[in-house]
Amino acid sequence: MLFIIFVIFAPIAVWLILHLMSRQKNGEDTDASKEPIELCAICQEEFPMSQLLEKEVGGYGRVYCFCGQCIENLYHEYQNTTDIKTGE
C-alpha cells in the first residue's frame, strides 16, 4: 500500500501543485503592463521605455536611458555654465 502511495499518488499530487502554481504565475504576467520598464541612468527612477531616451555611450556600446526631466536639468545646467564662461 505504501508503494502505491509513493509511486502513483505522490507524483500526481506534485504535478497538480506545480501545474496550479504555474497557472497562477501566467495569470499574473498577463495582467502586468506590456511595456518594459527601465531605470533612468541619472535619477534611478523607473519609467516606461516610451518615456525614456536611449543613447549609446562610448566605443564599447553601453546603452543608457535618460528621462525627460533629467535631460532638461542637464540642459539648464549646461546653459548656466556656458553663460558664466561667456560672461553673459
For residue range 25-37, list pLDDT tens digits in order. 555 555 555 788 9
DSSP string, 14-50: HHHHHHHHHHHHHHHHHHS-SS-EEE-TTT--EEEGG
Q: Return the pLDDT at 41.
A: 93
Please give the Cα distance from 45 to 65 (Å, whole number): 11
Q: Return the pLDDT at 32.
A: 53
DSSP state for residue 66 in the 8-state scheme = E
The pLDDT tens digits of the residues spanning 43-76 come to 999 999 999 999 998 878 889 999 999 999 999 9
Whole-model pTM? 0.56
